[in-house]
Amino acid sequence: MKWPTARTVLPTSLFGRALTILLVPIVLLQLVVGLVFFQRHYLRVTDQLTSGVGLELRYAIGEVNRARDVAEARAALDRLSAPLDLELTLRPGIGVTPGLRRVFYDISGGTLAATLGEELPGPLAVDLRTDQRVASVTAATNKGALRATIPRTRLSVSNPHQLLVLMIGTSILLTAIAVIFLRNQVRPIRALAEAAEAFGKGRSLPFRPAGAEEVRRAGAAFLAMRSRIERQIEQRTQMLSGVSHDLRTPLTRMRLTLALMEDSEEARDMVHDMDQMDRMLGEFLAFARGDGLETTTPTDPFALAERVVENARRTGAAIELIEENETPENRLVEMRPGAITRAVQNLVGNAIRHGAHVTLRARLRTKTIDFVVEDDGPGIPPEDRARALSPFTRLDHARGQDEDGNVGLGLSIALDVARSHGGNLDLAESEALGGLRATLRIPR
């Protein structure tokens, strides 16, 4: 049997742990105070009260034993009942079977019976169950069984639960106040965590630092960090846009020059080289830009997948679309549609180049949206899959050749888009088609 550890038993949230730190001392304090109260006060007072009643019962037993007959004994008990405030009866010729009858939660019953047993000679029977308001005590005498009915208030403290009710009520009140304050302290931390998680998924949630000084400092540091990252992305995008314009300008002049030249094999080769350079430049800029300035919007992933498939079929590719929706009541996912479209198109284009049959599966789950692209091509060996995701990587086998201007950035762009949404890109072998299976997973 495996025993649970503190890590599995204790709560994982900050609110739960703080509440545990608060409640455990309160509960332990209540237990200690309750134990001390019952042992040193409640049970001790019960012992003292019962001892006094025991002395009175001993005196009554002595009067019965000294009487000459049963009639004299009963007369003596009648004289003692009123002064002692006890109901005393004598049952001649009946023996006494020692024992104690009580309910299980009668804590003072054991102390009461033990004290009477010490005070009174001979066998003793105590009944606390028949009528819990009184104690029925039966003692042996030389003339029979003496039965005494004693009000329970004379033997133990009345209303002992008042202190416990006060303790529990005070604890509940203090705990409720503590919970309110803890929620107010944890709320800014939870808001900070949500803002950080959303930023990791490419979304920018409004956030204002609040709470304790340390939490406000962490929130202000997060806002400063987010502002620096956004400013860096914007500056990089603007710079790359300028670089794209500067590089495409001479390419345009060269195209015009070639258009004015006579048609020849050398001119056609140069046009092919320029088209290849233009595609390489566009792919490189797409990777460097990463669509960082695009904002997230609620998007239908199935409509996005259908547009990608339609564009691929226009080129004559054989591609099949499979849609799986586990949350039909909610089809929308927060994403940057332009970036996701580019990533899925790169995966589909990569599969079309190396396979005759391609499938695109859009699987909408409760917490993720998966775009799974499979083909029947040569695939990528397991030892090369991590390297294939690196920028500018061209594998030596057929899957990595770049005869059409590919510089090895398609998978890198898809991985960059997935990570900018807080997701990932996974490469594996396709069980259905035998080629490569690329899974683009985006959290919802």
User: Residue 360 above 90 pLDDT?
Assistant: yes
Tokens linked to 180:
């309110």
On the CB side of 127, how many CA atoms lie within 13 Å of its CA?
Answer: 11
pLDDT in tens, 159-215: 656 667 777 888 888 888 888 888 888 888 888 988 888 887 667 788 888 888 888
Question: In terms of pLDDT, which residue wins out, 400 or 65?
Answer: 65
- pLDDT score, position 1: 54
- pLDDT score, position 272: 78
Question: In terms of pLDDT, which residue wins out, 214 or 322?
Answer: 322
CA pair distance 143, 79, nearest whole angstrom: 18
- Residue (of 440, 423, 207, 421) closest to 334 by Cα position: 421
- pLDDT score, position 438: 93
User: Residue 87 above 80 pLDDT?
Assistant: yes
CA pair distance 109, 371, nearest whole angstrom: 73
**Which residues are 91's β-sheet partners?**
145
User: Residue 273 above 70 pLDDT?
Assistant: yes
Question: In terms of pLDDT, which residue wins out, 364 or 391?
Answer: 364
Backbone dihedral region for residue 68 (phi beyond 0: left; psi -120 to 50: alpha; all else: beta): alpha
What percentage of residues in the chain have a pLDDT greater than 90? Answer: 28
- Residue (of 77, 82, 55) closest to 145 by Cα position: 77
In one-letter notation, the amino acid at residue 351 is A
- pLDDT score, position 190: 87
Summarize the confidence of residues 238-250 as an average pLDDT: 73
> Is 144 in contact with 71 (CB distance < 8 Å)?
no
Tokens linked to 319:
């591609």
User: Residue 409 above 90 pLDDT?
Assistant: no
Domains 11-154 and 293-443 share a fold: no
Tokens linked to 293:
């300035």
Q: What pTM value is reported for the model?
A: 0.52
> Is 433 in contact with 375 (CB distance < 8 Å)?
yes
Tally of CB atoms within 10 A around 265: 7
User: Residue 293 above 70 pLDDT?
Assistant: no
Q: Where are the domains of the chain?
A: 11-154, 293-443
Which position has the token pair 């090895």?
408
Size of the chain in residues = 444
CA pair distance 389, 410, nearest whole angstrom: 9
Of the pLDDT bands very low, low, confident and very high (cuts 50, 70, 90), residue 65 is very high
CA pair distance 426, 431, nearest whole angstrom: 15
pLDDT in tens, 379-400: 888 888 888 887 766 664 444 4
The dihedral of CA 157, 162, 167, 172: what is its sign? positive
Considering only the top CATH level, what class is 293-443?
A: alpha beta
Which position has the token pair 């009866």?
89
> Is 369 in contact with 338 (CB distance < 8 Å)?
no
- pLDDT score, position 364: 93
What percentage of residues in the chain have a pLDDT greater than 70? Answer: 86
User: Residue 223 above 70 pLDDT?
Assistant: yes
- Residue (of 223, 224, 200, 220) closest to 211 by Cα position: 220
Question: In terms of pLDDT, which residue wins out, 372 or 246?
Answer: 372
Tell me the DSSP string of 3-29.
PPPHHHHS-SSHHHHHHHHHHHHHHHH
> Is 427 in contact with 375 (CB distance < 8 Å)?
no
- pLDDT score, position 57: 93
Summarize the confidence of residues 93-111 as an average pLDDT: 87
Range in 33-47, 78-92, 270-284, 401-415 with the lowest mean pLDDT: 401-415
CA pair distance 136, 233, nearest whole angstrom: 89
How is domain 11-154 classified at the architecture level of CATH?
2-Layer Sandwich (3.30)
